[in-house]
A = this chain, B = another copy of it.
Amino acid sequence: MLRITKQTDYGIVLLTHFGLADEGQLLSAKELAERTRIPAPMVAKILKILVRAGLLDSQRGAAGGYGLARPARDLSLLEMIAALEGPVSMTECAEMGSGCPIEAGCRPRVNWKLINQVVQAALEGITLERMITPAPACATLDLGLVRAGLEAPQRT
Q: Which residues of A contact B (CB under 8 A)?
A: 1-6, 9-10, 12-13, 16-17, 20, 35-38, 77, 81, 85-92, 101-102, 104-108, 110-111, 114-115, 117-119, 121-123, 125-126, 130-135, 137-154
Copies of this protein in the complex:
2
Given that A91-B3, A91-B9 are contacting pairs, would A122 and B142 also be in contact in the complex, using a CB cutoff of 8 Å?
no
- What is the minimal beta-carbon distance from A45 to any residue of chain B, in angstroms? 16
Chain B residues lying within 8 Å of A130, measured Cβ to Cβ, are 111, 154
Q: Which residue of B10, B92, B121 is within 8 Å of A147 (Cβ)?
A: B121
CB <8 Å contact, B153 and A149? no
For chain A, what secondary structure do more than half of its interface residues adopt (helix, strand, loop), or is it mixed? helix
Cα separation A137 to B51 with both chains bound (whole Å): 41
CA distance A137 to B108 in the complex (A): 13
Cβ distance A37 to chain B, nearest Cβ, rounded Å: 5
| B-side contacts of A123, CB under 8 Å | 115
